[in-house]
């Protein structure tokens, strides 16, 4: 297997917006997806000089390379193993002139990255960037999850970036969102549904994440007849019975309890209707 180094830049303007570019639809590798600007490091290049060159070639912009922000690995279409370094970059000058590698560009608020067709690794990187540099999310995160039960089985999904770890549909409330708007956005993004009813928010928990952030999570019983379309955040979905709940490892420390309580609440509602 060949080996190489790649560099990427999160280019930010003075208004806080960052640049993403869309790969040409005819590209052999990830055609049509949105990404940040970058490319390979040539022999005797420093990563910073390589990134300056790639940004100029791909966008025509002059930037100031700041600190390295993330290190990642991937395999490209030539089966070359790459170590990638992402740098934070400040826009200095220039009008965007895209190379043939890309067909479109946008300056976006970093918290809106999930609205664009991209890769789970980029979503994670930009969200991390938002937390560190833009304070796009509250320090105390509030997250909402949906317990959906059909035919006495609950829907769970395996997380793409954490194989073997399972989750319920839902996610974090962003700044300037109310709870229901956020919940409906997350349900649309994660499982592709918009026609559902929140029957009750019946459980809640607080804890510190592995990164040290305080999290307040809620579980709501949700009713929907729509079919699900999983986002790239998840590898697969599964419907599990009440007896199978403890057979899985979940992203939240209290999620197995929340699912069990969801079955109890679901049965209670059925008895009373």
Residue 263 Cα distances to 134, 168, 195, 227, angstroms: 39, 14, 21, 20
**Residues 199 and 107 both lie in one domain:** no
How many structural domains are present in the chain? 2
**Residues 114 and 152 both lie in one domain:** no
Residue positions counted in the chain: 273
Tokens of 6: 């790649």
**Residues 253 and 157 both lie in one domain:** yes
Question: Checking phi first, is residue 244 left (phi over 0); if not, alpha (psi -120 to 50) or beta?
Answer: alpha
Domain final position from 116, 134, 152: 134
**Residues 150 and 246 both lie in one domain:** yes
Residue 27, pLDDT score = 76
**Residues 128 and 109 both lie in one domain:** yes
Q: Which structural domain range is residue 179 located in?
A: 141-271
Domain final position from 106, 134, 162: 134
Tokens of 254: 């209290």
Which residues make beta-bridge pairs with 198? 222
**Do residues 182 and 170 touch, judged by C-beta distance below 8 A?**
no
**Residues 160 and 122 both lie in one domain:** no
**Residues 164 and 52 both lie in one domain:** no
**Residues 128 and 148 both lie in one domain:** no
Domain final position from 117, 134, 151: 134
**Residues 46 and 77 both lie in one domain:** yes
Tokens of 252: 């939240």
**Residues 157 and 260 both lie in one domain:** yes
Q: What is the bridge-based pairing of β-strands 141-150 and 214-223?
A: parallel
- The low-confidence residues of the chain, meaning pLDDT below 70, are 1-3, 74, 76-79, 134-139, 209-213
Give me the phi and psi of 212, to 5 degrees please. Answer: 90, 5
**Residues 81 and 157 both lie in one domain:** no
**Residues 154 and 112 both lie in one domain:** no
Radius of gyration of the chain (CA): 21
Residue 14, pLDDT score = 87
Can you give the CATH number for the domain in which 175 is found? 3.90.79.10
Closest CA to 161 of 232, 261, 213: 232
Residue 212, pLDDT score = 55
DSSP 211: T
Q: What is the largest CA-CA distance in the chain?
A: 73
Residue 138, pLDDT score = 46
CA–CA separation, 129 and 88 (whole Å): 9
Residue 238, pLDDT score = 97
CA–CA separation, 51 and 65 (whole Å): 8
Q: Mapping DSSP to helix (H, G, I), strand (E, B) and coil, where does residue 225 land?
A: coil
Helix residue spans in the chain (DSSP H)? 47-59, 120-129, 179-191, 255-271
Provide CB contacts within 8 A for 190, sequence distance 6+: 157, 169, 170, 171, 230, 231, 233, 234
Which residues make beta-bridge pairs with 142? 216
């Amino acid at each position: 297997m060949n080996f190489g180094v790649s560099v990427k830049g999160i280019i930010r303007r003075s208004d806080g917006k960052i640049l993403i570019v869309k790969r040409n639809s005819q590209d052999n590798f990830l055609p049509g997806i949105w990404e940040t600007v970058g490319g390979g490091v040539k022999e005797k290049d420093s990563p910073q000089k390589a990134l300056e060159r790639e940004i100029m070639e791909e966008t025509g912009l002059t930037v100031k390379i700041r600190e390295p922000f993330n290190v990642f690995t991937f395999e490209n279409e030539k089966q070359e193993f790459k170590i990638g370094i992402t740098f934070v970059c400040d826009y200095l000058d220039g009008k965007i002139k895209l190379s043939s590698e890309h067909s479109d560009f946008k300056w976006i608020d970093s918290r809106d990255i999930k609205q664009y067709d991209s890769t789970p690794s980029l979503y994670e990187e930009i969200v991390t960037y938002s937390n560190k540099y833009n304070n796009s999310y509250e320090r105390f995160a509030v997250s909402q999850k949906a317990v959906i039960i059909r035919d006495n089985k609950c829907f769970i999904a395996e997380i793409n970036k954490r194989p073997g770890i399972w989750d319920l549909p839902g996610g974090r409330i962003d700044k300037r969102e109310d709870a229901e708007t956020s919940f409906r956005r997350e349900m649309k993004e994660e499982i592709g549904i918009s026609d559902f009813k929140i029957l009750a928010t019946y459980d809640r928990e607080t804890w510190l994440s592995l990164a040290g952030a305080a999290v307040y999570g809620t579980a709501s019983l949700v009713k929907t007849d729509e079919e699900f379309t999983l986002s790239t955040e998840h590898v697969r979905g599964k419907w599990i019975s009440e007896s199978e709940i403890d057979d899985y490892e979940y992203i939240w420390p209290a999620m197995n309890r929340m699912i069990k309580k969801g079955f109890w609440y679901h049965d209670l509602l059925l008895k009373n209707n």
